[in-house]
Amino acid sequence: MTKSRKPRPRAKPAPARVRRYLPLLAGIALAIGLLAAGYWWWGHARAADPQAMYQKLQGRWQRADGGYIIDISGVDAAGMLTARYLNPNPIKVAKAEASMLGDTLRVFLELRDVNYPGSTYQLTYDPKADLLQGIYYQAKLRESYDVEFTRLKP
């Protein structure tokens, strides 16, 4: 004896009006995808080249509240700075780096010398005003100060 099978109901074809809009919907989806990809590419393509931004840091910078000077004579592609710090005599710079955070150019200096046991500068570059501004942490006193450096003209 064989079991009789019930015929499966066939899937109903999409109504004619739905079939007529499928190419249009696919085209719209494709256009949205292309626009999103283009927007992503445009945003990345126009992002500032970090190496070109780092070059803007080169020069001598004087702190507004005294004779403290940061002298940046070079920068490599990784953001490592060749820097000196003068107060007015040279203070050993243990670490000098530039980095990009979004569109913001940042500078970090760590000082390691007599009376400067790990004091740091965390600065950001303001391209419109041509300033370095941020926080100086005086490690020996464990105090932080708002500071601003202006570029010295050659």
- d(CA 55, CA 77) in angstroms, rounded, equals 10
Q: Are 67 and 87 in contact (CB under 8 A)?
A: yes
- d(CA 124, CA 97) in angstroms, rounded, equals 12
Q: What pLDDT score does 60 carry?
A: 97
Over the stretch 85-114, which tens digit does the pLDDT of each residue have? 999 899 999 999 999 998 899 999 999 999
Question: What single-letter DSSP state applies at residue 66?
Answer: S
pTM for this entry: 0.68
Q: Are 96 and 108 in contact (CB under 8 A)?
A: yes
Instruction: Please state the domain extents for the chain.
Output: 13-46, 50-151
> CA-CA distances (angstroms) from residue 109 to 18, 63, 136, 138?
65, 14, 9, 12
Closest CA to 105 of 84, 93, 122, 120: 122
Q: What pLDDT score does 24 carry?
A: 78
Q: What pLDDT score does 1 carry?
A: 54
Q: Are 85 and 69 in contact (CB under 8 A)?
A: yes
50-151 domain in CATH 3.40.50.300? no
- d(CA 103, CA 90) in angstroms, rounded, equals 32
Residue with tokens 């710079």: 93
In the predicted model, residues of the chain with pLDDT beneath 70 are 1-5, 11-19, 40-48
